[in-house]
Amino acid sequence: MTATYVIGLDYGTGSARGVLLDAATGEQIGSHTHAYRHDVMTQSLLDGTPLQRSWALQNAADYLDAAEEILGVLGRGRVIESIGLGFSASSPMPTTTDGTALSELHPGEPHAYVKLWKHRAAQPYADAINRVGGSFLRNFGGKLSGEWLLPKAAQIAGEAPHIWGAAGRFIESGDWLVWQLTGREVRSLGFAAYKAQYSETEGYPQGIVPGLSEKLSVPHRIGTPAGSLSEAWRARTGVGGRAIVAVAVIDSHVVLPAVGAVSSGCLVGALGTSAVYLLLNEQFRPLPPGIEGVAKDGSVRDLWCYEAGQAGFGDTLAWFVKAFPRGADEAESFRVYNREAAGLEPGANHLVALDWWNGNRVPLADSDLSGMLVGLTTETTGVGIYRALIESLCFGARTVVDLFEAGDFAINRVILTSGLAQNNPLLVQIMADVLGRVVEVPSIAHATAVGAAVHGAVAAELVNGFAEGTARFGARTFTPYRPRRESAAAYRSLYKNYRQLSDSQAVRKAMHDLNRAASLDRPAEETKSVA
């Protein structure tokens, strides 16, 4: 009998990963990772055109290169039943009506490129939309983040009307990749609901950005087949079989079935470059103040999924170890910092930090905020700062849990997943101490890509829903981390300090003032030198 397989694709911030699974047994057969050739563009475009502060762009062609290599390595000569993919969001891009990325036609125009989720320059447009308000903000705490699709569309329309006029479509990169693979524009309800405020009753918000409605299309709920891999892509990759491609899913959401999160009351923290916290619930409840948003059928079918997150998580720690290395490479620096930080007792570093190094998602939805360290003295050490950063990330997570519980949501299980959860046990233990509850880490490799594979299997009807997909392909064992009594008591006091700082309007005003001062246009001499 010919063996058949499923493929899951996980498109992150700096690279894409694919995993190959046996369709019958769920066994992981192989995996492959591809780093984007141009990574994240924050200083200049490919031709040297300089970018202003707070910009973060990517080149759409890099996504195609990754797909061709990964699908070729994993699928060439094999019978592939389905392909699912998760994609970092919100990362929208303008294209022509046939799906050609405008960056291919206008390589020297910054607004023609993918605006990555961490592109913060659209925040003023989010603020302007929030001031006007509207019913579409009801399930999003009354405010948009500058990371999302609507503010990014408004920025292009306001700052580059010629590019906006040339855009036949404005589309999330995950939806665009599905379009490229299948030849069909089939958008995902997950992206549309959480990042573009789409609702089945009201559609997309109207009157926000001129001409936006014509550049969007009706989305489909997750687990829906978008079509089969096109003949052109089969020739490029050597993939055989039905190769049903599922609609794309937000990368942090797509992991849910891989880690057993398919039931009400389960809170999942996907700890990657940023962090996203997802709480599943059978019944709709009003959005707790400060929580980002809620939608049904955008993450797991037939369940409401409440979303919250931290704009900086793993990248905050990565920044620190790169800026202040303690080893020959980043991995060794992490090992040294983690080993030494584990020897510090809570509070021994005399520091409290705010985790806003990429802005704040919850509860403020403000991309213009920044990180903070309080308590620095001449005795402060690098290890002490590193531990304070870890603690601040856990305090941010505790804020999310507190907001849910204040909204009378029952959380009966906490699962932490992704690379940081598996590779940084110090962080996970501190998380358990700060939350004061058991947290579980699933024993599964490449969880996000596996979750994408489950979505593909559902779309291809290889399994009868997500619960069956979880049973066949998902994690089977979990490692529990239990809170330590003494540490939990110490962190309750430190967390109060964190909340006082985060609630301070004076602190936030100072951050805004600093951000405005740093956002002034570069002098002409600097622009020339960069170009």
Q: Where are the domains of the chain?
A: 4-252, 260-519
DSSP annotation of 1: -
User: 3-class DSSP state for residue 240?
Assistant: strand
Residue 527 has pLDDT above 50, yes or no: no
pLDDT of residue 523: 43
Residue 529 has pLDDT above 60, yes or no: no
Summarised one tens digit per residue, pLDDT across range 371-415 is: 999 999 999 999 999 999 999 999 999 999 999 999 999 999 999
Residue 133 has pLDDT above 60, yes or no: yes
Report which of residues 342 and 517 the model is more confident about: 342
Distance CA 48, CA 57 (A): 13
Of 259-263, 281-285, 423-427, the range with the highest mean pLDDT is: 423-427
CATH T-level topology, domain 260-519: Nucleotidyltransferase; domain 5 (3.30.420)
**61 CB contacts (<8 Å, ≥6 apart)?**
101, 103, 104
Q: Which CATH homologous superfamily contains domain 4-252?
A: ATPase, nucleotide binding domain (3.30.420.40)
Peptide linkage before 94 cis (omega within 30 of 0): no
pLDDT of residue 418: 85
Residue 521 has pLDDT above 80, yes or no: no
DSSP annotation of 257: G
Angle (deg, nearest 10), helices 447-459 and 466-473: 130
Average pLDDT over residues 33-58: 96
Which DSSP string corresponds to 429-477? HHHHHHHTS-EEEE--TTHHHHHHHHHHHHHTTSSSSHHHHHHHHS---
Of 471, 476, 469, the C-alpha closest to 454 is 469
Residue 73 vs residues 32, 78, 204, 438: alpha-carbon distances, Å: 7, 10, 39, 39
Q: Residues in the chain, how many? A: 531
Distance CA 248, CA 220 (A): 10
Q: What is the dihedral of CA 117, 121, 122, 128, to 10 degrees?
A: 140
Residue 426 has pLDDT above 60, yes or no: yes
Summarised one tens digit per residue, pLDDT across range 232-266 is: 999 999 999 999 999 999 998 999 999 999 989 99
Q: How confident is the model at residue 520 (pLDDT cuts 50, 70, 90)?
A: low
pLDDT of residue 525: 37
Angle (deg, nearest 10), helices 330-341 and 314-323: 100
Distance CA 91, CA 191 (A): 10
Kindly report the average pLDDT of the chain as a whole number: 94
Summarised one tens digit per residue, pLDDT across range 106-129 is: 999 999 999 999 898 999 999 999
Common-topology check for domains 4-252 and 260-519: yes
Angle (deg, nearest 10), helices 149-159 and 123-132: 110
User: 3-class DSSP state for residue 187?
Assistant: strand
Distance CA 258, CA 442 (A): 9
Distance CA 355, CA 332 (A): 23
Q: How confident is the model at residue 141 (pLDDT cuts 50, 70, 90)?
A: confident
Residue 305: CB atoms within 10 Å: 25
